[in-house]
Amino acid sequence: MPGQPKTADDGSWVRAAVARFEAPLTLYAARLLGGSDAARDVVQETFLRLCVQDRAVIECRLAEWLFTVCRNRALDVLRKESRMTRLSDEQVHHRASPDPNPSDVVERRESASRVLDLLESLPVNQREVIRLKFQNGFSYQEISRISGHSVTNVGYLLHVGLKSLRHQLLDGQPAEATS
């Protein structure tokens, strides 16, 4: 009866079922799943479900019930796995990570640090407009209003400053500094 508490006798009944059916169920599940690890998990879940069943209802058809539950659980696992993409070991090793390569991160940091160091070698007005544009995201018009330079002059200062930074980065030599 479902409302009755489990007794010690029920525990021995489950242990007897495990002793008798664990190996045949594991073999059955392994054949369905093609692997023993997943089969052991399925069989374990089958016996866990047996623990909460009413002995009086299942005992007369125990083998049938165990194999049915085991089969249904194995099919659930197969359905779940079929929705997943399987990768070979080779694919796993060659699959690109969404994260950047650590050496690329270090290289970018070093480059950014070098650019910031080189930025200090530029004349003050070029350095100011470059920082307002790239560190603060201001438009040419906004930089013009902030710095007091004309919009055309802001464009010129940006062009000359960036050109100088580019030459210094590529050649390691400062370009002609123009104010």
pLDDT at 1: 46
Return the higher-pLDDT residue of 177 and 37: 37
Q: Two tokens at 158? A: 């940006």
Polymer length of the chain: 179
Q: Within a 10 A sphere around the Cβ of 17, how many other Cβ atoms?
A: 22
Structural contact between residues 179 and 125, judged by C-beta atoms closer than 8 angstroms: yes
The predicted pLDDT at position 84 comes to 67
Q: Quick one: pLDDT at residue 97?
A: 61
- Per-residue pLDDT of 32-56, as tens digits, reads 888 778 899 999 999 999 999 999 9
Region 145-166 average pLDDT: 93
**Section 147-175 average pLDDT:** 87
3-state secondary structure 55-104: HHHHHHHHHHHHHHHHHHHHHHHHHHHHHCCCCCHHHHHHCCCCCCCHHH
Average pLDDT over residues 157-177: 80
Integer angstrom CA distances of residue 95 from 59, 86, 102, 103, 132: 51, 12, 16, 17, 40
The tens digit of pLDDT for each residue in 65-80 reads: 999 999 999 989 888 8
The crossing angle, in degrees rounded to 10, of helices 36-51 and 8-33 is 150
What are the tens digits of pLDDT across the range 87-131? Answer: 666 665 565 566 777 888 888 888 888 888 888 899 989 988 898
Per-residue b/e over 81-110, b at no fewer than 16 CB within 10 Å?
eeeeeeeeeeeeeeeeeeeeeeeeeeeeee
Greater model confidence, 149 or 174: 149
pLDDT at residue 88, as a whole number = 65
Task: Tell me the one-letter amino acid at 39.
Answer: A
> If you average pLDDT over residues 23-32, what whole number do you get?
90
Q: Which domains does the chain have, with CATH numbers?
A: 8-84 (no CATH), 109-171 (1.10.10.10)
- pTM of the entire predicted model: 0.45
Task: Output the pLDDT for position 172.
Answer: 66
